[in-house]
Amino acid sequence: MPPGVGSRKETLPRPSGGSPGPAAGRAPFTWTADDHVWKNGCDHSYVIDRAPAAVPPPPVEADAESWARALGAVHAGEAGVRVTLQGRDERAVVLESLRIRVVEHRSPAQGRVYRMSSGCGGSLTPRMFDVDLDVPRPVARSVAGNDSGEPIEAVAFPYSVSVTDPEVLMITGRTVGCDCDWFAELTWSSGGRSGTVRVDDGGRPFRTSGVRGRPVLDYDTGSGRWVSVADAGEAAS
């Protein structure tokens, strides 16, 4: 099995803001990316090539990165990447487009699917983009969201950010049939200048794997162990 999402972070940590390398200072805005964002704070799954007895209880979302890194976990089915953008000064930076690049397709990763299902929080959805990683040319499709029940219209490019007007994007990369490595590109313009910033996982691509037909497990807090979804259903009936 190729190294998991967390293992890449261990060898090459995510930058604190902006794209890695010398080009970071040339972009008129900073960015940070977090790919361990769970839907409503609990709805997420990882594929892990370990037996249930060797997998510790699910973490809370805030501890997901270190938990996944220690287990070599891979995002199962979808990965939610939260990108926070902010201008470096008062000048507006116009974000022209968002593109998705899939750099490698492999057969789905080996292992079982472990579902995170404790500690759900409130619903909070920033600007949302949905990406089908299985198609030959993935497109970031803007979709409507909500913030605690209040609708958020689907965002349309171009739009702007500045130091006083930051923006948060949520890119959800989905796959059924591949173990995909991918990253995003943001094209910008400001003050007569323009460029493209690569948004990735600390210099390496994000990773999402399909999990069709894999065993799915939930954590039973009563018994303190992982149980298959089928077994849990039989026990409840």
pLDDT of residue 194: 94
pLDDT of residue 25: 52
Contacts of 147 (CB under 8 A, 6+ apart): 123, 124, 125
pLDDT of residue 125: 54
The pair phi, psi for residue 74, each rounded to 5°, is -120, 140
Q: Which residues pair with 134 in a beta bridge?
A: none
Alpha-carbon gap, residue 23 to 44, rounded angstroms: 34
User: Is the distance from CB of 214 to CB of 113 less than 8 angstroms?
Assistant: yes
Most confident of 66-75, 109-118, 137-146: 66-75
If residue 71 lies in a helix (H) or strand (E), which one and from where to where?
Answer: helix 64-71
- Average pLDDT estimate for 85-99: 94
For the beta carbon of residue 223, count every other beta carbon within 10 angstroms: 9
Percent of the chain with pLDDT over 90: 68
Higher-confidence residue: 80 or 42?
80
pLDDT of residue 122: 47
pLDDT of residue 23: 43
- DSSP assignment string, 170-224: EEEEE-SS-EEEEEEEEEEEETTEEEEEEE-BTTB-EEEE--TT--EEEEETTTT
pLDDT at residue 15 is higher than 60 = no
Higher-confidence residue: 118 or 162?
162
pLDDT at residue 237 is higher than 60 = no
Alpha-carbon gap, residue 164 to 91, rounded angstroms: 10
User: Is the distance from CB of 67 to CB of 219 less than 8 angstroms?
Assistant: no
Closest CA to 100 of 143, 134, 131, 142: 131
Most confident of 2-11, 142-151, 152-161, 197-206: 197-206
pLDDT of residue 117: 80
Mean pLDDT (the chain) is 83
pLDDT of residue 164: 93
Q: How many residues does the chain have?
A: 237
- DSSP assignment string, 12-23: SPPPSSS-SSGG
pTM of the shown model: 0.80
Q: Which residues of 2-14 are buried (b: 16+ CB within 10 A; e: fewer)?
A: eebbbbbbeeeeb
Alpha-carbon gap, residue 139 to 17, rounded angstroms: 25
Closest CA to 20 of 31, 9, 10: 31
Per-residue pLDDT tens digits for 175-228 = 999 999 999 999 999 999 999 999 999 999 999 999 999 999 999 999 999 999
